[in-house]
Structure 1
Amino acid sequence: MSVTIDITGLPHERIVFCPSPLAELGAALHALSEPAHHPGLHAWATTTAAALEPELADRLHEADFMWRSTRSDILLPARPRETLAEELDDLDRMDDERYVGSALEISCASHYTYGAPSPLVDTRMRRRALDLAAARGPRQAAFVERMLADPTGTRAWVRRLLEDCDEAFFSDTWRRVRIQLAADARHKTELLRRKGLADAVVAASPAMSLEEDEHGSRIVVDKLVQGRTTTAQGSGLTFLPTAFGRPHLIALYAPGWQPVVQYPVSGRELAGTAPVETVKLRLEAVAHPMRMRMCRNLARASYTTSELADAYGITAPEVSRHLAVLRRAGLLTTRRRGRYVLHQLDVAVVARLGSDFLESVLR
């Protein structure tokens, strides 16, 4: 599974690495809402949350569905600006239908990424947004009702909320991190110019790659989600570095939007993470009851096929089939001793499976 961004024919000058204050504010708000996702930011999140005025904290809680489980597309600008005010001005110029559809992306998640109409203009989507919001609690239900009834007023409310966050804590945070983010963006831009897009993409995150063949060029983002988008004529592709992102790798791929990828600047820490498909293979391999029982032996010592067949009362071909599944998943080490082939569980790989799984679902 992956998000594929078709960039066939896209000139490299339309591929931009650049920090965005609005995107970084969205990432910071997510870290405040879900501190368990970001243990490395525990001190910052604790200190910042404790210093918030109760009234501001209450408003953040009211609107946190726009950044809590994932980031609304309005928080990922395709054309980053120098200041938050400039990016909020750009946001103000967006039409109501697009703004509301994106702001309520979580409530409309199952259809939004397929180009479903905005709940402002489609009765069925409006009912769906209200129903799903109600399932998330009375505060979100009230917020969604207000946004659908008065999009202009609600948009102004959201802007004031983000401006108040900037005044309360983000402006200081942005001054500290923007230098690091700008340096990272310059480094990736230089890699793109000197070594090519493939090197720049992998440097941004090892969970991304460039694929090129006779059908064209694509950037593949290894995620536990299936999505596809393309760079429309005259548009481009934007990469936004973030100091608050890890372990998340956000890809905007909704129809009608320029593709945007937000990647954590600490990408080197992800180098040991297994691809999503490998994690899936490993989980399926150890989930089978017989293979789980065999792992008990294989974790303790090396065993031959015949020894395992004798221990579990099954045939040698059956054991071989189970061992083949474990081997394809990269969970076994095999060595030969004379005419015997000995198999043993790779305990180090199995020990990483939990963290690899968590990294995959949070990415």
Structure 2
Amino acid sequence: MPTVITGLDRCAQAGKLLPAVSALTEFGSALHVLRDPGHHGLDEWAGGILTSMSPRLAAWTRSWWWTAQAIRATPFVTPTTSAESFTDRLEHLRALPAQELASQLLRPIAPTGDRQVALRWSRSRGAAVEACVEALARRPQEAAEDFLAFLRSSWQEWFEAEWARIRPVLAGRARRFADLAALQGPGPALAALDSSVEATPTGVTVHIAKVRAARHDVSKRGLVVAPSTFIRPHLYVADVPGRPLLLLHPADAGPAVPSAAVVRRRLEALAHQGRLEVARAIATEPRTAGEIAMLWNVDPTQVNRHLRALAAAGLATTARQGRFVRYRLATDVLEELGKDVLSLLLR
């Protein structure tokens, strides 16, 4: 099942379908990349940034980057749609009660802000994370001040320069989304963001090819759409209760990706021992069902069934030779299957 976003027509009519360019949201994506740059293809960039940091900031970064991983802390998924600066956002966070900010920062391991849950699961993440979560849970004032100081130092040492480079790219992409939504409607505009997003014929609902099945009605709560230069290969949907849904997408649309259903069908086809053996029989040269049945002494009806299943999953191609139909393994599809699985899991 994909992630489904509904109510786009009423969301747009109410003026709640909003593009956003947010320095703090983009900083969260950059922090995510610094922790694990490999699958983003940004090893060189991350290495350069980390090397340029002062020892103090490098240690700070290692202690806080868990807040921007698979589930992100609330400050990173609450973009504004105005021209609010990074410094403005820091002041907004500073004005929050320390306990509230601490609860927001615990979202990655305790979505409800439950301190006992956070303390329990922090122990599985190493000493640095455990110490950080311990401070958030038991000394929120001290931990909140430490987080804000970390953000300020990050801005001063490296992210201010990065933001000057990135902001025009994101602003241009946000304008294109707003223009397309006004001309063609919200569904087509969202579908143009990434190949994993598909609009229904009515354009009031979109399906996002993700592993997790979820359904979000944005007719009343609103939808904020924010581009990112760091987010690829992810397409991040942040569902924070009481806030608009956030769709964080790559600034540039990537190559086409298969749906979760297609990937699952291909894996299921190969998981069957009989189909795997038939796939081996057509891996090096095309063969007919009858030839395979004869060579391997198996039931031709079963061979036919396995070949049709492989072809239906896109794992085999067919070519007619007179009255014969020969099957060949789609080796190029199989070579990409591992990448497709990884892409789906990362998305």
TM-score normalised by L of structure 1: 0.88
Distance in 2 (CA, whole Å) between partners of 1:300 and 1:349 is: 15
- Determine if contact 1:97/1:118 at 8 Å carries over to the other structure: no
Aligned to 1:240: 226
Aligned to 1:103: 105
Deviations 1:166-201, CA, capped at 9 Å, x for gaps: 111111011011111111111111111112222211
The counterpart of 2:145, out of the listed 153, 156, 161, is 156
The counterpart of 1:33, out of the listed 32, 35, 39, is 35
Alignment of 1:82-101 (within 5 A): 82=83, 83-92=85-94, 99-101=101-103
**Shift in alpha-carbon separation, 1:208–1:244, aligned structure 2, 3 A:** same
Deviations 1:6-30, CA, capped at 9 Å, x for gaps: 3252234321122110111111111
Distance in 1 (CA, whole Å) between partners of 2:5 and 2:201 is: 12
Runs of 4+ more than 6 Å apart: none
Matching residue's letter, 2:197: M
The counterpart of 2:296, out of the listed 309, 312, 325, is 312
Aligned to 2:255: 270
The counterpart of 2:175, out of the listed 168, 183, 186, is 186
Q: Give the aligned length.
A: 344
**Shift in alpha-carbon separation, 1:73–1:228, aligned structure 2, 3 A:** farther
Q: How far 1:241 moved relative to its partner?
A: 0.4
The counterpart of 1:353, out of the listed 334, 337, 341, is 337
Aligned to 2:7: 7
1:74 is aligned to 2:75 = yes
**Shift in alpha-carbon separation, 1:270–1:156, aligned structure 2, 3 A:** farther
1:48 is aligned to 2:37 = no
Matching residue's letter, 1:23: T
TM-score normalised by L of structure 2: 0.92
The counterpart of 1:20, out of the listed 16, 22, 26, is 22
Distance in 2 (CA, whole Å) between partners of 1:226 and 1:90 is: 34
**Shift in alpha-carbon separation, 1:341–1:28, aligned structure 2, 3 A:** same
**Shift in alpha-carbon separation, 1:42–1:141, aligned structure 2, 3 A:** closer
Alignment of 1:269-348 (within 5 A): 269-271=254-256, 273-348=257-332
State percent identity of aligned pairs.
28
Deviations 1:187-219, CA, capped at 9 Å, x for gaps: 111111112222211211121123366xx9333
Distance in 2 (CA, whole Å) between partners of 1:270 and 1:73 is: 30
For structure 1, list consecutive stretches of 5 or more residues without a partner in the other structure.
Answer: 120-125
**Shift in alpha-carbon separation, 1:336–1:32, aligned structure 2, 3 A:** same
- Determine if contact 1:242/1:264 at 8 Å carries over to the other structure: yes
